Chains A and B, each alone.
Chain A
Amino acid sequence: MRIRSVTLDNVRRFTEPVTAGPFNDGITLLCQPNESGKSTLFDALHALFYVKYSGWPAEVSSLQPWSGGKVAVTVELEIDGESWRVRKQWQRGAGGEARVWKDGRLRHQGDDAEHWLSSIVRGDGTGPSGLLWVRQGRVSLSVDGKYARGDEKGQEHEERRNLLTLITGAMDDLTGGKTMDAARDACAAELGQLQTASGRPKAGGAWAQAQAQVEALEKDEAHLARQADELHEALEERRRLRAQLAELEDDETRAARARDLAEAEAAFRDAERHASLVSQAATEAALARQTESAARAEAEAARALRDELAEAGGMARDAAEQAETAAKRLAEAETAWQAAQETLKTADAEEARARATLQRVTRRDAARAAAEQRRKMADMLAKAEDADRRAASALAEAGRGPDKDAVDGIEKLARAVDTARAVRDAAAPQVAVSYLPGAPEVRLDGAPVAEGAAQVVTGRARFDLPGIGALTVTPGREGAADPAPEAETALARALEVAGFDDLDALRAAARARAEALRTAHLAAQARDTLAPEGVQALRNDLARLPAPSDVEDAALPDAVAAQKAAQDASGALSSARAAEAERRTRRDAAKDAATAARSTATAAKERLDRARQAMRDLPEREDAALAERLDRLRAAAEAAEALHRERQEGAPNVAAAEARLKRIRSVIREAETRAQAAQLRLAELRALIRARAEEGVEEALEDVRLRLGAARERLERVSFEVEVLRRLDAALEAAQSAARDRYYAPIARELRPLLEELWDDAELVWSDDTLLPSGMIRKGESEPIDTLSGGTQEQIAFLVRLAFARLLAKAGRHAPLILDDALVYSDDDRIERLFDALHGAAGDLQIIVLSCRQRAFRELGAPQVVFRPADARAEG
């Protein structure tokens, strides 16, 4: 949006229409002395964009001239290349109007025009206003701390705003500023009354109280409901009991029960009486039948006795015969057994004799074997003792010879002598003689020297050469050390110590010793073979052998024959024993048979005697009389049974009559018991119902339920309030946070190059809490913002506004920047730098500068406009 011209009609000093413009893109200057209408223009523009036509607020009334009348402002706009004209007119009471034309045609009016106007000023609503105002001394904090908008006279402080208020205004537009803070504080305070930091109902708060009230009333309701239920149950039970009691105590019912009882008792008595008659008939029938049975049994017994007598007689005869036969067999068995006993005695004696003979033969053979063993052992002992003696003798002889160490030492010395001599002889001259045939023998030291044999000359030697003389040979090294003598001396001394004359003697003694040792060894071996446990042990064994005994062996058979005879005798004895046992068994069996036969005969005889006696005891009856008696008794029994059956068939059921009687008596008793219990329970219920009624339980319950309903509604309202405050707080926080994120960093970024145009190496320090500059760093030195000069603060504010405008322009929203006496503290040098910054930032921005400082702003380098009488079209 760009403003092209502004027409004021009846606005303060302009009672006649005037127009300011045209305002081009870039910077336009309206520079006129004070009281020439610059602030009027500013205020009129502000009213046009922000004050509704239908009202008459102070902001509008301040625009009305003293002469009164309608206040009208018209502005020509260019939006996205299209021409718009907006005219707003205010009048006290009714008569205000707002109209919007596009390309000369009316497009909006009234509230519709206001909507349109609001939309172009607000943009998307999230950022600063589409019009950016820089006017010092027009907006400030009101007395009550609320952020005052507009320029209502009497509420604002007409003081020049410093940097903080200017920046605050700008940032407040974004973040809501103190208004936002106040709203959030109020919201938090109200919420804090209701909930804790963790979102739970705060103790003592309305929310917690509402909850507590609901819970308490729910508890009361439950308690009263239980009591009411108890009351209702008691009432219901009482109703039931009364009905029951009425039924139980009903006269007709009671009379009917009494009748039933009397009838049941009479029936029971009749049944018992009849049952007695039945029982009597049954007894008589049983008696008759018993008499008949006894008679019949008597007849049967007589017949049986006769049979018994005949049988017992036969059996007695048989038994007597069998007893006689058994006695004979017993006598025979007895004789056979006695013969067997005699045979057994003979066999036993024979077996004893054979066994004694065998023992004597055994002893005799043992004595013979012992004598032979003694002889052999004595022989072995003699041989062993001889070997032992020989071994001792050989060992004694061996002990006299040189031991092996002495022999080895001397042999070693002998080898040293031989070595010394060989060494000497190897170095000594050798003389060999070759004889001419017939030549005389050469003699050495008197001994002839054989031909060819080399003679070693170890010392001076004199050869007698017959016929020639003597030849003396002297070895060249005569006088030099000869090892042989020393070795020989050592050997001789060793031999002497050993007690031998020469080496041969020594060696012979050594061989003799070895031979003696071998002889001792062989003798010891022979001894150990004969007496492995030693000679003394052998002697002891010999001594332990029994002394030789004298055993008579005349007429004794040899051992085999004696053994056979003993075995034969033993076999005969066994046979005799078996035969005796068999005969004894037979005799015992015969004895038992005889005893049994005698018992049988005795028993048969006794049975026969008893039968005979019984026959004698039987009454004498005739068979015909007996039969007649039986028939009579049978008829009597049948008559008695018929009577019993007859009575039995018509008998009433005693058990049923008794059961019915019992049941009726039980019913009556039960009715009485139940009636008593009901009376008792009714008394209890009366007390309970009275108690509950006196407590007014049902009324209290109804009342509590009403209260509970109200308390729940109250809780719902408070909960709703909590939700509302939470929602509001969340919305405010989210919006504030979003605004900070959206504008804080971009504005700081836009501001940085603008700052550099005024101050080298300058940077603003921003407060995270307030989003306001808290200081300025120039050439590395930080200065708190409130210590900066008024001019510097003013210039920073100016640049912040420019940054906003640039930010909006980059977002595609061109917002005219209107500066009304924005630079009053800046010196000429600084103001020129600001002009440079303004030109640099202007680009395609529209900046309208209102100022009374004609001289200072001469250097701005911008086209100037003035108020001029408006033409007719501008008046709409």
Chain B
Amino acid sequence: MFVGRFRVRAIRFIHCSDLHLGKGFGPYADGARLTEARHQSIARLARAARDHDAAHILVAGDVFDVPTPSPATLRQGIASMAEARDVTWWLLPGNHDNLREAQATWEEVTALGHDSIRVLTSPDPVELQPGAVLLPAPLLTRHPSSDPSAVIGTGTDEAIRIGLAHGPITGFGEDDARPGVIAPDRDRLAGLDYLGLGDWHRQMKVSDRVWYSGAPEYTDFRHAGRGGCLVVSIDAPGAAPEVTPVETGAFHWAPLSVALLPGDDPRAAVAAALPQTPRRDTLVRLDVTGRARLSDASGLSALEAEIGPEFCHFAFSTAGLALDLETSDLDEIAPTGALRQAADMLAGDAEAAELSERERQVAAAALRRLHSLVAGGGA
């Protein structure tokens, strides 16, 4: 295809971001596996590129989790990228590895001298292939004071223009007026065929030409499911990009919330909410809320110990679960006498509006414990 004087070839590339190489997961029992998964995502991205016949992998920021990663993180990550000789990696500094703080890191990456790894430390356009230019917007600081994508200049329609930037855009429900926010219509302002964004770990389509690729491997429970990347095909300048999500995450993150109603079978409700994914590679954060009978609430306490070990991570909380007390529940502790009086006292405190939330929660937990101890509701 010719556009003006140029012969333009269609281009296909992988758009990804937020690898966060070297990120630690100290508190997780399987933290080492999670860290390793970040590194393994390099190979999965390379495989995705091969699978989709893409010659370029555009990383829209946050290759590294910290500005100055350890030598092992840096060298092994770069080495893994270099091993995928059939693709070219275009690395954009993000807020975690911004140019100001990570200058030494990027210098070292550049100094390693891999032809297939290109560090985008300046906003100068670079040619991906004849008729296709990449317009990067590297982050100079961790917290830029203005739209970092503003450095992407306007251009002609003689080449496919691909922008690459890192940061939030308006429309996330956050403070739109805060500095450093990327204009969501930067593609239109700069005449881009596609604007690849990073920073938001979940894939998100901002517009037909503007996408967040999401992280290839999620890092916490803010995003459910698995990480991934995007395969982007652009036939010609001005043509609508074809964007295909590809799942690359090894771990499934499941932030679950189960709201119980009185009479619900809590165990069944929890079982129904759990994802049907390999449990060893699944991380679960389960918040049980709503209301439950005392005996049911007491019985839930054992759930974490029963099924938690099957998962890569299993965090369980009933702090938001209110007790739906019935007389028969308290009768199970004792129909009369001092035990009953203690139970009534705790039940009253658990519902007492004049007490603090903390005091109510303590009283409710104490009541559940009493039920467990006396009525055998499980420890």
Chain A residues within 8 Å of B, Cβ to Cβ: 50, 52, 111, 114-115, 118-119, 121-123, 125-129, 146, 172-177, 179-180, 182-183, 186-187, 231-232, 235-236, 238-239, 689, 692-704, 706-707, 709-711, 720, 723-725, 727-728, 731-732, 734-736, 738-739
Neighbour of A176 across the interface among B103, B327, B338, CB < 8 A = B338
Contact of B336 with A173 in the complex, beta carbons under 8 Å: yes
Q: Which residues of B contact A119 (CB under 8 A)?
A: 327
- B25 neighbours in A (Cβ, 8 Å): 703, 706
B365 within 8 A of A: yes
- Cβ–Cβ contact B24 & A702, under 8 A: yes
Give the interface of B toward A (CB within 8 A).
22-27, 65-74, 100-101, 103-105, 326-328, 331, 334-342, 344-346, 349, 361-363, 365-366, 369-370, 373-374, 376
- With contacts A118-B328, A173-B336, A738-B341 taken as known, whether A697 is within 8 angstroms of B68 at the C-beta atoms is yes
State the Cβ distance, A350 to closest chain B Cβ, in Å. Answer: 129
Min CB distance B310 to A, Å, is 20
Q: Is the CB of A703 within 8 A of B26?
A: yes
Question: A214 → chain B, closest Cβ, in Å?
Answer: 12
Given contacts A693-B68, A728-B366, A731-B346, contact A183 B373 (CB under 8 A): yes
Beyond A118-B327, A122-B336, A689-B104, is A694–B341 a contact (Cβ under 8 Å)? no
In the bound assembly, the distance between CA atoms of A803 and B25 in angstroms comes to 66
B residues less than 8 Å from A122 (CB atoms): 327, 331, 335-336, 340
Q: Do B342 and A727 touch (CB < 8 A)?
A: no
Given A179-B374, A706-B25, A232-B69 contact (CB < 8 Å): no
Please indicate the chain A residues that have their CB under 8 angstroms from the CB of B66 in the complex.
698-699, 701-702
Nearest-CB distance from A586 to chain B (Å)?
113
Knowing A706-B26, A710-B27, A728-B346, the reply to whether A693 touches B373 (Cβ < 8 A) is no
Shortest A734–chain B CB gap in Å is 7
Given A126-B341, A238-B104, A693-B104, A183 contacting B370 (CB threshold 8 A):
yes
A160 to B24, CA, bound (A): 67
Q: Are B73 and A696 in contact (CB under 8 A)?
A: yes
A702→B336 contact, CB < 8 A? no
- Most chain B Cβ neighbours within 10 Å, of A118, A121, A127, A176: A176
Task: Name the A residues within 8 Å of B362 (CB-CB).
Answer: 720, 723-724, 727
Q: Given A179-B374, A235-B101, are A689 and B68 neighbors across the interface (CB < 8 Å)?
A: yes
Q: Which of A115, A127, A173, A706 contacts B24 (CB 8 A)?
A: A706
Query: Could you list 5 A-B pairs, sorted by A, with CB under 8 Å?
Result: A146-B376, A183-B339, A706-B27, A728-B346, A732-B370
Contact B23 A125 (CB under 8 A): no
* In the complex with contacts A176-B338, A728-B370, A232-B101 CB distance below 8 A: yes
- Bound-state Cα–Cα, A379 to B75, Å: 155
Q: Is the CB of B101 within 8 A of A176?
A: no
Taking CB atoms, residues of chain B closer than 8 Å to A146 are: 376
Q: For the complex, what is the distance from the CA of A839 to the CA of B178, rounded to whole Å?
A: 88
**A118: B residues at CB distance < 8 A:** 327-328, 331, 335
For B342, list chain A residues within 8 Å (CB): 176, 728, 731-732, 734-736
Pair A174/B338 contact, Cβ less than 8 Å:
yes
Given A127-B336, A182-B373, A187-B373, are A703 and B363 neighbors across the interface (CB < 8 Å)? no
Please give the distance in Å from A59's CB to the nearest CB on chain B: 14
Contact between B327 and A235, CB atoms less than 8 A apart: no
Residue pair A128, B101 in contact (C-beta under 8 Å): no
Of all chain B residues, the one with the shortest Cβ separation from A115 is B327
When the two chains form their complex, are residues A703 and B327 in contact, meaning their CB atoms are under 8 A apart? no
Q: Which 5 pairs from chain A and chain B are nearest by CB?
A: A710-B27, A696-B70, A703-B24, A698-B66, A707-B26
> Cβ of B334 and Cβ of A179 under 8 Å apart?
yes
Contacting residues, chain A, for B27 (C-beta < 8 A):
706-707, 709-711
**Chain B residues positioned under 8 Å from A692 (CB to CB):** 68
Task: Determine whether the beta carbon of A176 is less than 8 Å from that of B23.
Answer: no
Expressed in whole angstroms, the minimum distance between the Cβ of A434 and any Cβ of chain B is 154
Closest B residue to A232 by beta carbon equals B101
- CB <8 Å contact, B101 and A724: no
Q: Which residues of B contact A689 (CB under 8 A)?
A: 68, 104
B104 touches A738 (CB 8 A): no
Given A127-B336, A727-B346, CB of A698 within 8 Å of CB of B69: yes
Q: Smallest CB-CB separation from B370: which chain A residue?
A: A728
Assess the B26–A704 pair: CB atoms within 8 A: yes
Interface centre among A52, A129, A698, A700 (most CB of B within 10 A): A698
The answer to whether A738 and B363 have CB atoms under 8 Å apart is no
B336 touches A735 (CB 8 A): no
Residues of A within 8 A of B104 (CB): 235, 238, 689, 693
Task: Report chain A residues within 8 Å CB of B67.
Answer: 232, 235, 698
CB distance from A744 to the nearest CB of B (A): 11
| B361 partner residues in chain A, CB cutoff 8 A | 720
- The docked-state distance in angstroms from the alpha carbon of A675 to that of B334 is 85
A172 to B336, CA, bound (A): 10
Does A174 lie within 8 Å of B369, measured CB to CB?
no
Per a CB cutoff under 8 Å, which of B100, B337, B374 touches A739?
B337
The answer to whether B69 touches A693 (Cβ under 8 A) is yes
**Smallest CB gap from B104: residue in A:** A689
Please pick, from B68, B337, B370, the residue contacting A698 in the complex, using a CB distance under 8 A: B68
With A187-B373, A235-B68, A239-B103 as contacts: A125 and B344 at CB distance below 8 Å: yes
Measured CA separation A84–B268 after assembly (Å)? 40
Query: Complex formed: what's the CA distance from A770 to B202 in Å?
Result: 64
In the complex, what residue of chain B is closest to A121 when comparing beta carbons? B335
Q: Chain B residues with Cβ under 8 A from A52's Cβ?
A: 328
Say how far B167's CB is from chain A's closest CB, in angstroms.
Answer: 20
- B338 CB to closest chain A CB (Å) equals 4
The answer for the CA separation of A114 and B101 in the assembled complex, in Å, is: 70
B335 lies within 8 A of A50 (CB) = yes
- Which chain B residues border A696 with CB–CB below 8 Å? 22, 69-73
Q: Which residues of A contact B344 (CB under 8 A)?
A: 125
Bound Cα distance from A700 to B71, whole angstroms = 13
**Bound-state Cα–Cα, A758 to B376, Å:** 43
Q: How far is the CA of A238 from the CA of B24 in the complex (A)?
A: 27
Is A175 within 8 A of B338, CB to CB? yes
Complex CA gap A114/B327 in Å reads 9
Beyond the given pairs A50-B335, A239-B100, 11 more chain A to chain B contacts, judged by CB atoms under 8 angstroms and listed by A's residue number, are: A115-B326, A122-B327, A126-B337, A127-B336, A693-B70, A696-B69, A696-B72, A698-B68, A727-B362, A731-B366, A732-B338
CB of A769, distance to nearest CB on chain B (Å): 15
Distance of A746 from chain B, by nearest CB (Å): 15
Q: Report Cα–Cα, A216/B287, bound state, in Å.
A: 29
Distance A728 CA – B68 CA, assembled complex (angstroms): 50
Q: Which residues of A contact B105 (CB under 8 A)?
A: 693
Most buried by B among A236, A693, A701: A693
- Complex CA gap A182/B334 in Å reads 14
Q: B26 touching A735 by the CB < 8 A rule?
A: no
A32 to chain B, nearest CB (A): 30
Interchain CB contact (< 8 A) of A125 among B69, B101, B336: B336
C-alpha gap A121/B335 in the complex (Å) = 9
Taking a contact as CB atoms closer than 8 A, the residue among B328, B339, B349 that contacts A735 in the complex is B339
A694 to B328, CA, bound (A): 64
CB-CB under 8 A for A125 and B70, given A114-B328, A183-B370: no
Residues of A near B336 (CB, < 8 A) are 122-123, 125-129, 173
Shortest CB-to-CB span from B369 to chain A, Å, is 5
Residues of B within 8 A of A231 (CB): 68
B230 to chain A, nearest CB (A): 27
User: Could you say which of B73, B74, B345 contacts A731, with CB atoms under 8 Å apart?
Assistant: B345
Bound complex: CA of A728 vs CA of B347, how far in Å? 11
Chain A residue, CB-CB nearest to B105:
A693
* A706, closest chain B residue (CB): B26
Contact between chains at A724 and B369 (CB < 8 Å) = yes
Interfacial chain B residues near A127, Cβ < 8 Å:
336-337
Chain B minimum-CB-distance residue to A125 = B340
User: A183–B374 contact, CB under 8 A?
Assistant: yes
Q: How far is the CB of A197 from chain B (nearest CB, A)?
A: 20
| Distance in Å: Cβ of A174 to nearest Cβ of chain B | 5
Max chain A CB contacts within 10 Å: which of B24, B341, B370? B341
